[in-house]
Amino acid sequence: MNFLVIGSAGFIGSVLCKHLVSLGHKVKGLDNFSTGFESLTKYGSHFQGDFTNEDDLDKIIKSNDPFDCVFHLGGFSQVGESVNFPEKYYKNNVAGTITLLSKITEYNIPYLIFSSSAAVYGNPNQLLIDENHDLNPINPYGRSKLMIERIIEDYCSSFKLKAVALRYFNAAGADSECELGESHEPETHLIPLLLKSALNPKEPVKIYGKDYRTKDGTCIRDFIHVEDLAKAHYLAFDLLLNKDLNKFISINLGSGSGYSIIDVINTANKILNDDEFSVSTKFSKRRHGDPGMLVANIALATKLMNWVPEKSLREIIKHAWAWEKAKFFLKD
């Protein structure tokens, strides 16, 4: 198969490229490197360009054999930034995806896998969130993802296109061979921030809120290993290719287990203790737009794709720690 990966120089996109190549497929990546890194483009061939730009899309699509599927992982993804700069998210994420969809349909690419988010649910009203949960995003990032899902569904109704929206919970970890991992600038994700704080104790991590209605007062999140996510993307394509489903479907991707921020800190410290490190944290007030609890019900993914995440929170942190150490000591 011949695949186009949008956002191929990002954390999840780079690991997805590696997985697709390992399965024997041809992979072309598109990334503008605004948040991605050229050092992560180790698998497949890559083109510097923007999915919001028609000319860039024409170039990459025309220069290749017909693509069987587009994996769309492009777009901005910081909740806090989206609250402060909503226009950036609606212009890039929403309007940009419309540009991409126009080219997908123009060139008759039959399948699309879209990187959505658990942020479409907003504040949940049940412990395990399934795909039938109310959709009520509470920040522009989540709203942009929901808008895109609905736009894709409309395109599927009007054109010969089938698509899956994968609603990620908290992607984390690193490639188990320590080739690829998180490298955000600035870093906003909990686990890499905690690990960076161990390497630089003068910069403690802010823990936002300890007054949530949870067992220890901190937020509860569902963390999923990036390699498990990558496998799910290919299985989503296989689902569209081989099963007679509706033309559009949304599927949760998480571990199905919730961990408080304190749980994550304690697990990290147990792993770091072997290297005589520990994380450095300080508590701050709640951050606007953060729900207290987000945990996935992954029954649909298991039923339709036979997908079950394999890696534990401990493995997530262990692989992320190996990646952070390698970056830190290589830098020195």
Task: Give catalytic residues, as residue numbers.
Answer: 141
Give whole-number Cα distances, 126 to 122, 134, 182, 289, 294, in Å.
12, 10, 30, 18, 9
What value, to the nearest 5°, has the Cα angle with vertex 142 and ends 139 and 145? 150
What value, to the nearest 5°, has the Cα angle with vertex 233 and ends 324 and 13? 40
d(CA 217, CA 211) in angstroms, rounded, equals: 5
d(CA 15, CA 2) in angstroms, rounded, equals: 17
Q: Computed from CA positions of residues 166, 170, 173, 179, in that sequence, does the dihedral angle turn out positive or negative? A: positive
152 SS3 class: helix
Nearest to 153 by CA among 140, 143, 162: 162
Residue 267: DSSP 8-state: H
DSSP secondary structure letters along 72-114? E--S---HHHHHH-HHHHIIIIIIHHHHHHHHHHHTT--EEEE
d(CA 175, CA 329) in angstroms, rounded, equals: 18
